[in-house]
Amino acid sequence: MVMREWAGEWLRGMGLPYREGYCWKAIKGQMRSLRGGASPYAPMELFRKSAMDELLPFLIGATMNDTAQMLKGINEEVQKSKEVLQELNNQIMDVSNIVQPALAKQITDIRNQRMALIGELSQSLNMLKEVRKFFMESEYDKEMERLERFVKVCQQIKALKEDGTFDAVVDSAIRLAIKEEQKNAG
């Protein structure tokens, strides 16, 4: 009885289900050889030859069933993974279809702003160069004298306008221009 329990535990330890009587002939032969019974084989060889002959179909069947179940599980996991990857791909494409046009518009806007900024900066630099050139040129003194004379003329016109003299002169000039025009026309 103890040997039978040991054999069951040994088979279960190997991952094989133990059923009473299924491979008991091989185990009985093993037990006889351990007790000193007559056997043409050494104890392990007896077990290998007789037990394995009976266990081999069971082992192959169990292994094939286990392999088939493992492959079925792996195939299911692979299929689930494919579905998840396809769903993620679809989501990425949806986001991409929204982002790409917005991104292209932003790139165009940034380019336009950059070009406008470059143009304005170039114009500002050219004006600053002209101002610098004006102050560095030899004609600076002449230009400053002209500016002072222009300011004086403007002040004199303002004074003439305040006392009415400027308006009278302008009216006279307009009347003379109209008479000249009428002479040339007629």
Give how far the C-alpha of residue 7 lies from the chain's centroid of Cα atoms, to the nearest Å: 61
Task: Point out the domain boundary residue: 136, 157, 175.
Answer: 136
C-alpha to C-alpha distance for 138 and 111, rounded to whole angstroms: 42
pLDDT computed for residue 24 by the predictor: 52
Please check whether residues 105 and 186 belong to one and the same domain. no
Burial class (CB within 10 angstroms; exposed 0-12, middle 13-18, buried 19+) of 7: buried
pLDDT computed for residue 138 by the predictor: 73
Four-residue CA torsion sign, 129, 133, 136, 140: negative
144-179 pLDDT tens trace: 888 899 999 999 989 988 998 888 888 899 999 998
Q: Which domain holds residue 86?
A: 2-136
pLDDT computed for residue 143 by the predictor: 81
Please check whether residues 121 and 54 belong to one and the same domain. yes
C-alpha to C-alpha distance for 104 and 73, rounded to whole angstroms: 45
Please check whether residues 113 and 66 belong to one and the same domain. yes
3-57 pLDDT tens trace: 555 555 655 555 555 555 545 555 555 555 555 555 444 444 444 455 555 555 5
Please check whether residues 65 and 105 belong to one and the same domain. yes
pLDDT surpasses 80 at 88: yes
pLDDT surpasses 60 at 95: yes
Of residues 180 and 38, the one with the higher pLDDT is: 180
Please check whether residues 163 and 82 belong to one and the same domain. no
Task: Point out the domain boundary residue: 98, 120, 136.
Answer: 136
pLDDT bracket for residue 70 (50, 70, 90): confident
Q: How many domains does the chain have?
A: 2
DSSP labels, 78-110: HHHHHHHHHHHHHHHHHHHHHHHHHHHHHHHHH
pLDDT computed for residue 90 by the predictor: 93
pLDDT computed for residue 47 by the predictor: 45
pLDDT computed for residue 68 by the predictor: 74
Please check whether residues 86 and 74 belong to one and the same domain. yes
Please check whether residues 79 and 45 belong to one and the same domain. yes
**DSSP H or E run through 57:** helix 52-136
Backbone dihedral region for residue 164 (phi beyond 0: left; psi -120 to 50: alpha; all else: beta): left
Per 3-state DSSP, the chain is made up of helix, strand and coil in percentages (nearest 5) of 85, 0, 15
Task: Point out the domain boundary residue: 96, 118, 136.
Answer: 136
Please check whether residues 114 and 161 belong to one and the same domain. no
pLDDT surpasses 50 at 123: yes
125-138 pLDDT tens trace: 999 888 888 777 77
Please check whether residues 155 and 77 belong to one and the same domain. no
pLDDT surpasses 80 at 63: no
Please check whether residues 128 and 144 belong to one and the same domain. no
C-alpha to C-alpha distance for 48 and 125, rounded to whole angstroms: 99
**DSSP H or E run through 127:** helix 52-136
What does the CA dihedral 28, 33, 35, 37 come to, rounded to 10 degrees? 100
Of residues 52 and 66, the one with the higher pLDDT is: 66
Please check whether residues 28 and 99 belong to one and the same domain. yes
